[in-house]
Structure 1
């Protein structure tokens, strides 16, 4: 209760937002998080006090979770609009909790993926570099075209690849690009880049499963050719 009274004395409603940016949302109290969602108070009630009033009305967050619009409107400073906003926030949280990570197929073998990539990339006149992010069951959770143009160190960098891996909570990745010439034979640059990505993946605990290079109707799997790692 002492913490709640102290927070009510904070004059700036922007303080919780600043703390979230600097320290992360997990550092905020229930009252501060709710104040951010409410955005404003209702004169003369400060938004922090309004958030405290809502939390005082209900025994805990679980009870608040089941609050109706009418029950919320019984709180001083909560009108119909804010009551509806709180209900919408609660419902969105419920749906997030129940949401499943989207998946786009499962990788069984490099050959199957390569056939799909050949069809996708065969008509491109520029190199397209693709990263495929997978979960622990080798199910595709995201496929992203990261670069368009010649594959070189200045354009393609492991940090861009693994930024996505962290963002999408990937357990492993497959990278791929096309050779507009139609010849899928890897260049020395392709091999060195693949090995660099593989090494970065080892350090991060995110395995590079393969690098597939497609041509007109052919492909090369650097995993099958045992070129993923330096010998």
Structure 2
């Protein structure tokens, strides 16, 4: 159970945020600001405490669905929508900083970012990252969202965006909702197809990453397919 400590000093979280900064507030205080009000049965602090108390760790909040949020007493449709919007905005801010400015120099660093972005998803997501000659991401495209039973992509669909954005290299990333990061035969097949297709067009296929919430697999690091 996620441990909660109620602090009497957090009675005015908005004022504390203004005077001390958001980094000084507890998780309960930050949630209280987002939830804004309580109801006739519970204060906003009690609702925030109940939500946090239902989690094993704070990162589980990022994967809660609209329905799951509404199961917490005191959180209705409007509050659930507002929380989902705040969580998604936080994810986008975090990933956009890397996409806009940072060179991709290691599989590990990119994998950590992708774990936060899609590692928690309950459906399989396939993303393609398109890079320029400086290894900067110039475009990110969701190629596929669905079940693991379907082939996750066709090379022509992925390479369409590479040509459109004049990318010189690309990276594939997808999640395994099961949490098992070892590649399947289908993953191996897609990787081999992409290597061959990219070679034909003079585009460098840098890596294929498989991520879960806590771990990742890199074809570049683990195999000799990409050299």
Q: TM-score range by the shorter chain?
A: 0.5 to 0.7
TM-fit CA distance, 1:149: 1.4
TM-fit CA distance, 1:129: 0.1
2:103 pairs with 1:106: yes
User: What CA distance in whole angstroms lies between the structure 2 residues aligned with 1:118 and 1:191?
Assistant: 20
Query: 182, 207, 211: which one pairs with 2:204?
Result: 207
Give the corresponding residue for 1:123. Answer: 120
TM-fit CA distance, 1:105: 2.4
The structure-2 alpha-carbon separation of the partners of 1:153 and 1:206, relative to structure 1 and needing over 3 Å to count, comes to farther
2:161 pairs with 1:173: no
2:192 pairs with 1:190: no
CA deviation vs aligned residue, 1:190-216 (integer Å, no higher than 9, x gap): 011101111100000001100000012
CA deviation vs aligned residue, 1:122-173 (integer Å, no higher than 9, x gap): 2210000000000011011011111001357755100010000000000000
CA contact (8 A) 1:132 1:173 kept: yes
- Calculate the TM-score normalised by the size of structure 2: 0.53
2:143 pairs with 1:143: no
Q: Gapped runs of 5+ residues in structure 2?
A: 1-98
CA contact (8 A) 1:132 1:174 kept: yes
TM-fit CA distance, 1:183: 1.1
Max Rg structure: 1
- Calculate the TM-score normalised by the size of structure 1: 0.52
Give the 3-state SS of the residue equivalent to 2:126 in structure 1.
strand
Task: Please give the root-mean-square deviation of Cα atoms over the aligned residues, in Å.
Answer: 2.0
Give the corresponding residue for 2:222. Answer: 225
User: What CA distance in whole angstroms lies between the structure 1 residues aligned with 2:191 and 2:217?
Assistant: 13
User: What CA distance in whole angstroms lies between the structure 1 residues aligned with 2:224 and 2:178?
Assistant: 21
The structure-2 alpha-carbon separation of the partners of 1:220 and 1:148, relative to structure 1 and needing over 3 Å to count, comes to same
User: What CA distance in whole angstroms lies between the structure 2 residues aligned with 1:152 and 1:125?
Assistant: 14
User: What CA distance in whole angstroms lies between the structure 1 residues aligned with 2:118 and 2:150?
Assistant: 21
User: What CA distance in whole angstroms lies between the structure 1 residues aligned with 2:139 and 2:209?
Assistant: 17
User: What CA distance in whole angstroms lies between the structure 2 residues aligned with 1:227 and 1:179?
Assistant: 22
